A and B are shown apart, each in its own frame.
Chain A
Amino acid sequence: QVQLQESGPGLVRPSETLSLTCTVSDASVSRYYWSWIRQPPGKGLEWIGDMYYSGSTNYNPSLKSRVTMSVDTSKNQFSLKLSSVTAADTAVYYCARAAYSYGPFFDYWGQGTLVTVSS
């Protein structure tokens, strides 16, 4: 059973950079695409982007100027950085595996981690 676990600070100051890591178990990050999806409290889901271990990335244009995703195959982890955060970036952040068949669907998810942007 593939498992994903997000980790990172739960509180980030405005204008700073949000950094999260997703650790993958029972699957290699050197296969599949890996995604980040977020959900503001009480609201819907927003796809942030995905990446392949080769370095190929695909970001949501609404966030593209602030997003960087990377993968560390030696640790079987992938990461998200979101710069210049504001209160609007407060959300539960999920990492997920993106299986590309008829486009991407997200078949395995982490439990999610709440990141609050506040001074």
Chain B
Amino acid sequence: DIQMTQSPSSLSASVGDRVTITCRASQTITNYLNWYQQKPGKAPKLLISAASTLRSGVPSRFSGSGSGTDFTLTISSLQPEDFATYYCQQSFSAPFTFGPGTKVDIK
């Protein structure tokens, strides 16, 4: 199985801050990497697919980059509605595994 790690596991930030979350795969996954946002008690929401493709309706302050084993999710200017947990997911090979999550909360 491909293992996914994320760093940091949690962070505190203020509205307006630039936030970067890192995801690393245990082997190369080219750009087969997706990002999700999950708020408490809710299902995850797809933000980015194929490492950098912003999904329809997702604000442009979200961006993704990377290839191979190392990927980043960036929120250019954190908004109140962005406080949530973020997960990466590899879609390179089954079983399709998720990272452990990064919780973004209010400083």
- List chain A positions with a Cβ less than 8 A from chain B: 44-47, 58, 60-62, 94, 96, 101-107, 109-112
Q: State A102–B1 Cα separation when bound (angstroms).
A: 18
Which residues on B are within 8 Å of A, measured CB to CB? 1, 31-32, 34, 36, 42-46, 49-50, 55, 87, 89-101
Q: What's the nearest-Cβ distance from chain B to residue A62, in Å?
A: 7
Cα distance A104–B45 when bound, in Å?
Answer: 14
Q: How distant is B74 from chain A, measured CB to nearest CB, in Å?
A: 19
**B43–A109 CB distance below 8 A:** yes
User: Chain B at the A interface: mostly helix, strand, loop or mixed?
Assistant: loop
Contacts of A102 in B (CB 8 A): 31-32, 49-50, 91
Query: For B95, what are the chain A residues with a Cβ–Cβ distance below 8 Å?
Result: 47, 60-62
Q: Are B43 and A46 in contact (CB under 8 A)?
A: no
| Structural contact, B94 and A94, CB atoms closer than 8 A | no
B99 engages A103 (CB within 8 Å): no
Number of A-B contacts (CB under 8 A): 61
What residues of chain B lie closer than 8 Å to A107, measured between beta carbons? 46, 49, 55
Per the bound structure, the CA–CA distance linking A96 and B95 in Å amounts to 16
Question: B43–A94 contact, CB under 8 A?
Answer: yes
Chain B residues with CB under 8 Å of A47's CB are 94-98
Contact, CB under 8 Å: B49 / A44: no
Which one, B43, B90, B98, contacts A112 given CB within 8 A?
Answer: B43
CA gap between A118 and B42 in the complex, in Å:
24
Residues of B within 8 A of A101 (CB): 49-50
Asked whether B91 lies within 8 Å of A44 as measured between CB atoms, the reply is: no
A96 / chain B contacts, CB cutoff of 8 Å: 43
Closest A residue to B29 by beta carbon equals: A103
Q: In the complex, which of the residues B36, B94, B99, B100 has the most CB atoms of chain A within 10 Å of its own CB atom?
A: B94
Q: Which residues of A contact B32 (CB under 8 A)?
A: 102-103
CB distance from A30 to the nearest CB of B (A): 22
- Given the known interface contacts A44-B101, A104-B91, the answer about A109 and B44 at a Cβ–Cβ threshold of 8 Å is yes
